[in-house]
Chains A and B, each alone.
Chain A
C-alpha cells in the first residue's frame, strides 16, 4: 500500500529565511505533485514532477524529485508572509488514476 509522509507537519519561520519540506513515499512512482491550500479553500496546484531528477521553480518555491530515494523536497527561499499556507505533496498511484496525499505541512511565516 502506498504511503506518503511529509515532514515537518508544522513549520513556523521568519520572513527572509530558507527552509525545506520533505515528502517521502513508500512504493515506486515517478509522478509527484505539490499543492497549496489556504484556510477554507481548495487545492491549488504548485508543481507537477513527472520524472526522476525533475526540478521546477516558481518564485520563491522550488520542488525536486528523486524517485530512487522516493523523496521529494519543496524548498522555500527568503520566505515572505504570503507563503503562509498548508502544503501537500501527493503521489500518483500507478495505474489507478488516484492520488495519495501526505499529511500536509502547515507553514506560518512571521514578519
Chain B
C-alpha cells in the first residue's frame, strides 16, 4: 500500500511569510505526528493529531500550528517565518496507540531566506 506522502517536497520562503505543509497518512492510519529536524536542535516533536484533535504538542511557539481533516490528512502551518524555521519537516502516521508501527514520510525541506 502507498506510504506516507508529504507535499511539497521542497519549499523556499522569505522571512515573515507563512507556509502550509501537507501530509497524507497511510490508508487506515488515523494518528499523524509531525517532527522538525534541524542541524542544531536535531529531531523534535511538534504535535500529534488523532480524529481531528491535537492530542500532544511539543515545545514550539504558537507560530506553529496544525490541523487534521476527517480523512486523516494533516496540515501544519508556520506563520511569520524566521530563519531558524529552516528545517526538514517530517510527518509520521500510525494506527492509534501503535507508535511501534509508525511510518515516516519523505519530508518537506523548508528553506527560509
Contacts and interface: CB of A to CB of B under 8 A. Distances in A.
Nearest to A102: B42
Interface in A72-111: 88, 90, 92, 96-104
A40 B31 CA distance: 25
Nearest to B105: A42
Given A42-B90, A42-B107, A103-B42, A97 B33 contact: yes
B45 interface: yes
Interface size grouping (class) on chain A? 20 to 34
A97 B103 contact: no
A50 interface: yes
B56 interface: yes
A100 B45 contact: yes
13 contacts: A31-B99, A43-B104, A92-B100, A97-B31, A97-B33, A97-B48, A97-B56, A98-B33, A98-B48, A100-B45, A101-B44, A102-B42, A104-B43
